[in-house]
Structure 1
Amino acid sequence: MTALTGPGPRPAPSAGFDGSGIDGGLYTDITHDAQHAPWLLNDTVCTWSAFGLALFAALMLVAWWRARRSDSPMMARALAVPLVVVAVYGVDLLLKAVVREERPCRSIPGSFTLAACPPRDDWSFPSNHAVVAFAAAGALWLVDRRVGAVAVLAAVAMAASRVWIGVHYPHDVAAGALVGIALAVPLTVFATHGARWVERARKGRLRPLLVAPA
């Protein structure tokens, strides 16, 4: 069973922005529900929140594999997905450094969390996990609708899990979703310009990796 961390004294104030006035009440309601939820549900959510991003890496591989039967522009998009996600994550880190929002588990007195509250200076807005998950989902949607649909559902589950375990406000994950999609979609479309390089590679030694057997 996951070890639950209960209410405690209010942490010492920090230089970070306090976002509790935005939706701190909703955050408290959600974590209160988590506190009284069955342990099996909470263990499942904690495990997903900690390791679920690995699924998106697997979906990227599936999208690449399926793109071997598609044209060169689509393969260019499939190959670009990991690069797009890394680029969006870099923007996310910059936003965190600018906004400097303190974690809700540090700002709200008596916060209940299912996971340890992240250390100071590990800012809350936007949610890294939500940004990465939705960036991957947005990019994959433009490569393969079936794979993308799975990724979208997984991204929603990832974002929700970050609030449920108590390490993010709802607005953190909502902003993360918007940032991820808003940046990943145009970047993935732009990656289509790499089709001419894919076309060349498909005629060379990399052909087995880029074209499915007839």
Structure 2
Amino acid sequence: MISSGGPLWTPARVDVVELSADLYRLIAGWGAASPGWVQALALFLTDALLLAFIPVAGFVWWRVDRRARALLAILISGGAAWVLTGPVKDLLKQARPCRAHPVRTVELCDEVGVWSLPSGHSASAAAFAVTTAVLWRRAAAVVAVVALLEAFLRVFIGVHYPHDVIAGLLFGALIGTIAAFASKPRGKRPPPPPSPKAAGASLVA
């Protein structure tokens, strides 16, 4: 059984499931064996996909919901998910998989003491995606694919176990759901003003 280097199942340690470790070695191995341009693209996308949600938030505000709360909900949810994974990582103290397994990785392994569970990138992507999907349902499929791709790439470049990114996705989805529903207006919206045709018809009547 692979562990993070300390006693099993204590509050500050998480035992790594063997299946997750096997999947990590498989997927990270694909990454290490892939062509150079694929590796470069993966490294670029792992950050670019998160940044892409900034213009998406602006588009949602412009086309769907002109309330500032809607715009802030998308942006803040992603940032909050990223920040809140920090204390969880410090509590669980699970080492990066590239520290525990002698495999080549696309991205250089972080120094000792940089923890991996849950994945901050995956949590942030999921929070962005869920908040966007709740506010703009037409975008749900697209943003879900982006979040899942972000999670896969974190394993592909060798910095996370599969269970790291799954935990990150679930954590971020929770944050995103809270942010989206907190941004919704309280009470009923006032009815829209009558159109000119409707107003004219009422006068004639």
Answer whether TM exceeds 0.5 for this pair: yes
Structure 1 residues 82-121: aligned runs within 5 Å: 82-108=75-101, 110-121=102-113
Match of 1:156 among 136, 148, 152: 148
How much does 1:39 deviate?
Answer: 2.5
Provide the C-alpha distance between the structure 1 equivalents of 2:25 and 2:15, rounded to a whole number of angstroms: 13
Name the aligned partner's letter for residue 83 of structure 1.
I
In our comparison, the structure showing a higher alpha carbon Rg is 2
Distance of 1:28 and 1:19 partners within structure 2? 17
- How far 1:51 moved relative to its partner? 2.9
In structure 2, how many angstroms separate the alpha carbons of the residues matched to 1:150 and 1:58? 14
Q: Name the Cα RMSD after superposition.
A: 2.6
The amino acid of 2:103's aligned partner reads: S
Give the match for residue 167 of structure 2. Answer: 175
- Alpha-carbon distance in 1 for matches of 2:76, 2:186: 13
Matched residues, percent identical? Answer: 27
Q: Displacement of 1:139 after TM fit?
A: 0.3
The alpha carbon displacement at 1:19 in A equals 4.7
CA distance in 1, matches of 2:49, 2:175: 21
CA distance in 2, matches of 1:105, 1:195: 51
- Equivalent residue number for residue 65 of structure 1: 62
- Tell which has more relative contact order, 1 or 2 (C-alpha 8 A, sep 6+): 1
Ranges of 4+ aligned residues in structure 1 off by more than 6 Å: 13-16
Instruction: Give unpaired runs (5+ residues) of structure 1.
Output: 1-12, 200-214
The residue type equivalent to 2:35 in the other structure is P
User: Equivalents in 2 of 1:49, 1:89: separation in Å?
Assistant: 14
Measured after TM superposition, the shift of residue 99 of structure 1 is 0.8
Query: Residues 41 and 183 from structure 1, CA distance in 2 versus in 1: closer, same or farther, beyond 3 angstroms?
Result: same
Equivalent residue number for residue 33 of structure 1: 30
CA distance in 2, matches of 1:18, 1:107: 13
Q: Residues 106, 194 of structure 1: CA spacing in aligned structure 2 closer, same or farther, 3 A cutoff?
A: farther
Query: CA shift at 1:91, angstroms?
Result: 2.3
The TM-score with structure 1 as length reference comes to 0.74
Between Structure 1 and Structure 2, how many residues are aligned? Answer: 181
**C-alpha separation between the residues in 2 aligned to 1:105 and 1:161?**
14
Q: Corresponding residue for 1:50?
A: 47
Q: Say whether the 8 Å CA contact 1:113–1:166 is kept in structure 2.
A: yes
Structure-2 separation of matches of 1:107 and 1:186: 35
d(CA) in 2 for partners of 1:166, 1:102: 12
* Alpha carbons 2:29, 2:105 under 8 Å: kept: no
Q: Which amino acid aligns with 1:143?
A: L
Q: What is the CA-CA distance between 1:93 and the residue it aligns to?
A: 1.5
Q: Give the CA deviation at 1:90.
A: 2.9
Post-superposition offset of 1:168? 0.3
Query: Under a length normalisation based on structure 2, what TM-score does the superposition of the two structures give?
Result: 0.77
